[in-house]
Structure 1
Amino acid sequence: MSDAYQDVCEDVRSKAMMYFNQGYNCAQAVALSNVEMLKGQTDGIIQLAAGFGHGISAGCACGALTGGVMAISLLLANPDTKGFDKEISETAAKLHQRFVNEFGQACCSGLRKKLSPLKNARCKEITGTTAAMTMELVLAAKIKKSTPV
Structure 2
Amino acid sequence: MFWQKKDNPTAETVGEKVGMEAEGFYRSGKMHCAEAVFMAARNQFFDGMPEEIVRAAAGFGGGGGVGCVCGAVAGGTMAFGFALPDDKRRVKQLTKGLHDWFRHEYGAACCRVAMPNAKGRGGCAVLTGEVARKVAELMES
Please give the range of the TM-score, normalised by the shorter of the 2 chains: 0.7 to 0.9
C-alpha separation in 1, matches of 2:69 and 2:34: 10
Larger radius of gyration: 1
CA RMSD of the aligned region, Å? 2.0
1:89 corresponds in structure 2 to: 92
1:102 is displaced (CA, Å) by: 1.1
Per-residue CA deviation, residues 3-43 of structure 1 (Å, 9 max, x unaligned), is: 62211110001100110012200000001101111111342
TM-score when scaled to structure 2? 0.85
* Residue 14 of structure 2 corresponds to residue 11 of structure 1: no
The answer (yes or no) to whether the contact 1:28–1:45 under 8 Å persists in 2 is no
The number of residues matched between the two structures is: 132
* Partner AA of 1:9 in structure 2: G
The match for 1:33 among 40, 53, 73 is: 40
User: Cα offset for 1:87?
Assistant: 1.1
Are the equivalent residues in 2 in contact too, given 1:31–1:45 (CA < 8 A)? no
Matched, 1:70 2:71: no
Long gaps (5+) in structure 1: 141-149
Structure 2 unaligned runs (5+)?
1-7
Q: Distance in 2 between matches of 1:31 and 1:3?
A: 22
- Paired with 2:101 and 2:117, the residues of 1 have a C-alpha distance of 18
